[in-house]
Structure 1
Amino acid sequence: MIKEYLDNVRSYLKDLPTDEREELLQFYEEQMLDAGYSIQDIEEKYGTPKQFARSLKIEYFIENDEVADDTVPRSTRTKNRMNLVWLVVLGLFASPFLIPIAIGVIGILISAIILFLGILFSIYVGIIGVLAGGLIAFVNGVILLWQSVATGVFYIGAGLLLTGAVIFFAPIVWRVTRWLFEMLVTFIKWVGNRYLSKNNVKGAH
């Protein structure tokens, strides 16, 4: 019965690396056998195979994200994070038991995403605006040199100043952007650990 249960779990874990998936399932198989669990005990502790698989995937993506370093391709890490967000959202909406919590959490999540995108939009529109203003001022300064050297030099200087400011602050803006995104991912991890870990799967379907 345990093998059949874990085979069903395995069918929901196809998107995990084979070696890590099998190592994980072997660990739980040994744990269940050593504890002498019946199928009822297993479902009481871990939920249905689909529930258990979802919680394992959430924990897998959270743990891998926390240990990820520069050797992990950015595209792979981004894909894993998107999978994590999707799993958390699906897990919350799939559970009748968590629906009241899910409504609040999803509301916060949506608000956070909207706020995040709004801040990003404002920052980058501001950068583009300043850069465009600097370029326009520089071009106008060059044109005005033929009419008034002082005015032309002033506009050229203003254009270079604005362009230089964009170049100087661009790395800072990028770091702020990454920090905001990390805060959003941290929130997703907290939701996953708090409501959808393998110790909190009861009531989910």
Structure 2
Amino acid sequence: MARVVMQAVVSVDGFIARPDDSVGPLFDWYFNGDTALVAEPSGWTFRVSAASHAHLRPFWDAIDVTVIGRHLFDTTDGWDGKPAAGDQLVVVTHRPLPEDWLAAHPDAPFHTAGSVAEGIARAKELAGEDGFVCVTAGDVGGQAFSAGLVDEVEMDVAPVVLGEGVRFFGDHTGTVELDDPDRVVRGDRVLHLHFTVRR
């Protein structure tokens, strides 16, 4: 069965963006190192510390399918039809993707789903039996987490306190226990943490 990980860069107080969706200093560590890190298939190039590179390269390479919400799709204009990581992308949305966007990106490996549960199920189907699905934290990730559809949590914690904004776990409430972190990697201005959801 494909694994599902919920992931994002997050502030110490649990926010992945400001109320206006800007990230402020959360992403500074993507550009403060001396090791090139290229995201595939998007081609985005970052410069991170060697420790962050050693952690992120295998994580990004393992992703088969990414799941995002319509808000992130609209905010990024669908990343020009190229998933930030993974071979395919599922957009959870109640509206069709814009016709002009589809016309401009006819070969984009994007799929849509009408609910979070449907989106995760579709992503797992696309990823295959031993696949790896990454759902972005925030509203969609929080819904998946609340529904018990998330197996792992991956946080890139930046030493920043935003005070308000978009919460990593969205609107999730209630207690969910995680196992002890099995990966703790100290980068430059970031701490990479990985947890497995306790079942």
TM-score (norm 1): 0.26
Q: Which has the larger radius of gyration?
A: 1
Q: Which has the higher strand share?
A: 2
Q: Which has the higher helix share?
A: 1
